[in-house]
């Protein structure tokens, strides 16, 4: 174990399937688990002399391995697609494919890399922030996605509660490949989500069918264009950002305010409130659910081509 002291501590521990990197400041702490899908597993804030969880987390390697689906894929990287693919099938460049990894029902969901092992490429320190860079490779292990690509996750964190996430996807195969990128964090609240104030800076919402797959229609949306209490609102919806960058959503509760910003190539905002109503998933996605079929936000990378997806989450203290 090594500890490097500056404005934030970097604590790096290694062990069989238990690699962990903790970056700890005076007000915020972040725990990364490279072997658990490269996830940010814990994000904590110091309030009233107590460390308080900001996001839902896994308790152990066994918990992650056994329950990532049951717990709703908290903090997992969504790649090479996000949300559902209708009937687990899609057509790309005239050829039909069937994804085979994970499905709640007949529709596969949330990509192929959510449980992949990442390795640490670099940890970069500066005066007021830390970057932890994680990498993994995909080499066509699922016959329904026989493409080859490299993925790099660059998390930048600081002691003001700011996280910037840059994801680089590079096609290392010899043919074009489709890709959608996203991140799936659940934000915890100390009380029911009903008492939280939400703002969504979007003018439209995608119409879903009974399988939570877009019909192709868009509806006018204005419910949370200014901050308002969630109350009993049910949310499992996707909002087109229509080119908007910067802050696209905010969440306020007690003395905390979370601001979610889209910067590069994130075209959709997905929100979901689980049945227990104790958290909310706020996901930035480059493409809509079922984008492999409907083409909404779909990126196609040619051989050797890369794409960087960038977003940020900033948790602010009012005191």
Residue 187 burial class via C-beta count within 10 angstroms: exposed 0-12, middle 13-18, buried 19 and up = buried
Tell me: pLDDT of 6 over 70: no
Distance between CA atoms of residues 85 and 258, nearest Å: 30
Cα-only R_g, the chain: 19
- Encode pLDDT of 8-21 as tens digits: 788 887 655 568 99
- Encode pLDDT of 271-316 as tens digits: 999 999 999 999 999 999 999 999 999 999 999 999 999 999 999 9
Tell me: pLDDT of 256 over 80: yes
For residue 105, what pLDDT is reported? 65
- Encode pLDDT of 210-247 as tens digits: 989 999 999 999 889 999 999 999 999 999 999 999 99
- Encode pLDDT of 25-34 as tens digits: 999 999 999 9
Tell me if 186 sits within 8 A of 72, measured CB to CB.
yes
Tell me: pLDDT of 35 over 90: yes
Q: pLDDT category, 1, cuts 50, 70, 90? A: very low
Report residue 223 CA to chain centroid gap. Answer: 24
Distance between CA atoms of residues 31 and 294, nearest Å: 36
Report residue 107 CA to chain centroid gap. Answer: 20
Decide which of 3.30.830.10, 3.40.50.300, 3.40.50.1970, 2.70.98.10 is the CATH code for 2-317: 2.70.98.10
Calculate the average pLDDT of the chain.
91
Question: Domain coordinates of the chain in residue numbers?
Answer: 2-317
SS3 at position 60: coil
Nearest CA to 154 out of 120, 189, 104 is that of 120
Q: Using omega within 30 degrees of 0 as the cis cutoff, is the peptide bond preceding 80 cis?
A: yes
Query: Of all residues in the chain, what percent carry a pLDDT higher than 90?
Result: 80
- Encode pLDDT of 187-216 as tens digits: 997 678 999 999 999 999 999 999 899 999
């Amino acid at each position: 174990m090594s500890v490097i002291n500056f404005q934030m501590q970097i604590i790096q521990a290694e062990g069989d399937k238990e690699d962990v990197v903790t970056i700890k400041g005076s007000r915020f702490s972040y725990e990364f688990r490279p072997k658990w899908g490269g996830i940010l597993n814990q994000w904590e804030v110091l309030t009233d002399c107590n460390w308080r969880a900001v996001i839902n987390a896994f308790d152990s390697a066994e918990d992650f391995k056994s329950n990532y689906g049951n717990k709703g894929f908290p903090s997992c990287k969504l790649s090479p697609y996000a949300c559902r693919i209708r009937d687990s099938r899609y057509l790309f460049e005239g050829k039909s494919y069937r994804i085979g990894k994970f499905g709640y029902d007949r529709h596969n969901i949330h990509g192929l890399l959510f449980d992949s092992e990442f390795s640490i490429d670099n940890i970069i320190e500066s005066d007021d922030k830390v970057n932890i860079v994680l990498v993994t490779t995909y080499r066509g292990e699922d016959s329904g996605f026989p493409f080859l690509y490299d993925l790099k996750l660059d998390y930048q964190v600081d002691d003001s509660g700011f996280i910037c996430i840059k994801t680089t996807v590079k096609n290392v195969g010899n043919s074009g490949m489709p890709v959608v990128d996203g991140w799936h964090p659940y934000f915890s609240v100390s009380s029911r989500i009903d008492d939280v104030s939400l703002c969504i800076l979007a003018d439209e919402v995608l119409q879903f069918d009974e399988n939570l797959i877009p019909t192709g229609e868009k509806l006018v949306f204005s419910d949370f264009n200014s901050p308002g209490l969630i109350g009993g609102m049910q949310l499992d919806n996707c909002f087109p950002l229509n080119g908007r960058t910067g802050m696209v959503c905010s969440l306020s509760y007690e003395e905390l305010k979370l601001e979610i910003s889209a910067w590069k190539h994130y075209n959709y905002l997905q929100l979901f409130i689980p049945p227990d109503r104790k958290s909310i998933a706020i996901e930035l996605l480059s493409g809509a659910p079922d984008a492999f079929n409907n083409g909404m936000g779909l990126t196609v990378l040619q051989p050797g081509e890369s794409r960087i997806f960038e977003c940020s989450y900033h948790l602010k203290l009012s005191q």
